[in-house]
Structure 1
Amino acid sequence: MAIASNGPQGHLNGKVGNLVFYMLNGQPVVRLIGRKGKPSTLQLANYQAMEVTMKLLNRVGSFIKLGYGLQAKGTVHNAHNLATSYHKKEALKGEYPNISIDYSKVMLSKGVMPETKDLKIEKVDGGLEISWDPTHYDELRHNDSVMVMICTPEAKRDQEYLNIARRSEGKCFIPMYEEALNQQIEPYISFISADGERISDSVYLGNLNGEGENPLEKQQKEKYQQVKTRFDQVESSYLNQMKENFQNKPDTKAFKYLEKEYKVLKKQLEHLPGKPG
C-alpha cells in the first residue's frame, strides 16, 4: 500500500501494484518491480558494463568523492552517481562478455582548475616519481594540493593519495613493491585548491609496463592447464599400455575408455584457447 503523505495531489510513498514510489535525494521516484524474464544479450551487456564500472569505482572511492564532489554540489546527484554515469558511458571497451576498463579514458576528477604543465612519470628505485611545473599564477596557487591515484590491476595493490604534496614542490615519490612496480600500472594525478573549492580534471599519466592479462585470458589459461595436466596423465598411461602390449591395443573395456579419453583430450587441446606462447 502506498501513502500520499501530502494529500491526494502529493507524491506517493510505498507500493501500488508492481510500482514502488519513494523519494531519492529530495526527488520523487517510481520504479517497476516484478519477476524478470530471461535477460537478452543487450541486458547482459548492460549488467556486465555496470559490474565492471562498479568494481573500478569501489577501488577509487575516496578519490572520486573529492573528484566529483564539487560537480555534484547543489544538484540532486552525488559524486558516485556522476562518476558512474561518466565511466559506464565513456571508459569501457570491448563487447559482452569481454567488457573491460579503458584506463586511458578514466576521469577521477572533473573541475575548472586549469591544466598543469609538464606532467611526467618515471620508474625509479623503490617506486615512481611524478613531476610537474611548480609555477603558480592567478588560477594556480603554490599551496594547491596534489592528488595521485595508482591503479595496479594485476598486483591488486592500488594506492590512493589525496594530499601527497603541494604544487610548489614540483614532484612527489610513490613507494611501490618490486612486484607491483613491474606489472601493469595506470597512474592519474589531480590538483585541488587548499580550501577545497576548486579542482582540476584528472590527467592520465600513461600506462607503464603494458597491459596484463584480462580475467578472460587468465581463465582460458587456467582451463587449458587443467586439461593439459589431465591429458599428460592419460597419455602416459595410454602409451605405457601400448608399449607393454608391443603397440597392440589391449582388448579390454578399461583400455577402450582410456583410448577414447586420450583422443578427446588431444583434440580438445588443439582448439582450446589459452595455450602458452
Structure 2
Amino acid sequence: MGKMNNGILDNFSGTIGKVVGSNWRGVPYMRSKAKKRTGALSDAQLEQQARFAIAGKFTQSMNDLLTLGFKDQAVKMTGKNYAQSIILRDAITGTYPDFQIDYSKVPISQGKLTKAKSPVATAEANSILKFTWTNDAGRKLAKANDQAVLIAYCPEMNETEYAFGPARDAATGNLDVAEFSGKKVHAWISFMSANGKLIANSVYCGELTIS
C-alpha cells in the first residue's frame, strides 16, 4: 500500500485506492490501477499481442545496444521501447499468427553522424563476419577516427553479437561470431564518433550463413 505524507501534491510509490504511483528515471508519475480482465481476448487483441511478442523478443536480445543506438531519440522511454515502436510500425510482415520481422527495415541506431557508405558483410572461414565499407572521412560529419559498430543477430538463438571495431578510415573490420556457427544471421553496421557523442544511422548488410 502506498503512503502520502504531504497531501495530494506529494510524490508517492505504491497503490492508493485506484491510483498507482511510481518513479522512472527520476520522474514521478501516476497511473490508473489495472483492471482485471473478465472475458476472452478478441481476435484483434490476440493479433496485437503477437506483434508485441515478436518485436519484444528481438529487442530484448540487444537491449544495451539499443540504449546506445537511440540515446538521442528515446526521450522518457528506453531505447528498447523506441526500437520496438519502429518495428511494430514498419517491420512486421505476414498475417496472424505467422508474423515475421523484415530485418531490412529494422534500424539499430539513429543519429546525425554520417552513416557507413557502401557497406558489405561477408561470412568468412572460422566463423568470422567480415565488414567492408568505403572510407569517406571528410564527407559531411564523417571523421577518420569514427569507430565502427559491427552487429550480428541470430534469430534461431535470439542472440546478438556486436563489437566496436576499427576506425572509419580502416574501411574493414571483423566480428567473431563463433557461437553462431552453421546458423543464419542478420548483419548491420553503424558508426560512433571517437568521443561517443554522435552516432550514425545503422545500415542493414543482409542475411548470411556463418561457416
| 2:134 partner SS | coil
Contact 1:5/1:13 (8 A) holds in 2: no
- Counterpart check, 1:172 vs 2:173: yes
Q: Distance in 1 between matches of 2:51 and 2:150?
A: 25
**Larger strand proportion of the pair:** 2
Contact 1:150/1:185 (8 A) holds in 2: yes
Structure 2 equivalent of residue 43 of structure 1: 45
Q: Distance in 2 between matches of 1:67 and 1:77?
A: 13
- Unaligned runs of 5+ residues in structure 2 are none
- Counterpart check, 1:78 vs 2:78: yes
Identity of aligned residues (%): 24
Report the alpha carbon displacement of residue 188 of structure 1 after superposing the two structures with TM: 0.5
Q: With structure 2 as the length reference, what TM-score do the two structures score? A: 0.83
**Larger helix proportion of the pair:** 1
Cα RMSD between the aligned structures? 2.5
Report the alpha carbon displacement of residue 71 of structure 1 after superposing the two structures with TM: 2.9
Report the alpha carbon displacement of residue 185 of structure 1 after superposing the two structures with TM: 2.3
Report the alpha carbon displacement of residue 174 of structure 1 after superposing the two structures with TM: 2.9
Q: With structure 1 as the length reference, what TM-score do the two structures score? A: 0.65
**For residues 195 and 36 of structure 1, do their structure 2 counterparts lie closer, same or farther at Cα, with a shift above 3 Å needed?**
same
**For residues 40 and 157 of structure 1, do their structure 2 counterparts lie closer, same or farther at Cα, with a shift above 3 Å needed?**
closer
Q: Distance in 2 between matches of 1:208 and 1:55?
A: 21
1:225-267 deviations in Å (ceiling 9; x for gaps): xxxxxxxxxxxxxxxxxxxxxxxxxxxxxxxxxxxxxxxxxxx
Bigger Rg, which one: 1
Contact 2:145/2:193 (8 A) holds in 1: yes
Q: Distance in 2 between matches of 1:189 and 1:160?
A: 9
Superposition map of 1:19-34 within 5 A: 19-25=19-25, 26-34=27-35
1:110-165 deviations in Å (ceiling 9; x for gaps): 1111232221222333333211112311511111111111112236564221x121
- Unaligned runs of 5+ residues in structure 1 are 210-277
Q: Which amino acid aligns with 2:68?
A: L
Count of residues in Structure 1 that have an aligned counterpart in Structure 2: 205
**For residues 172 and 9 of structure 1, do their structure 2 counterparts lie closer, same or farther at Cα, with a shift above 3 Å needed?**
closer
Superposition map of 1:62-73 within 5 A: 62-72=64-74
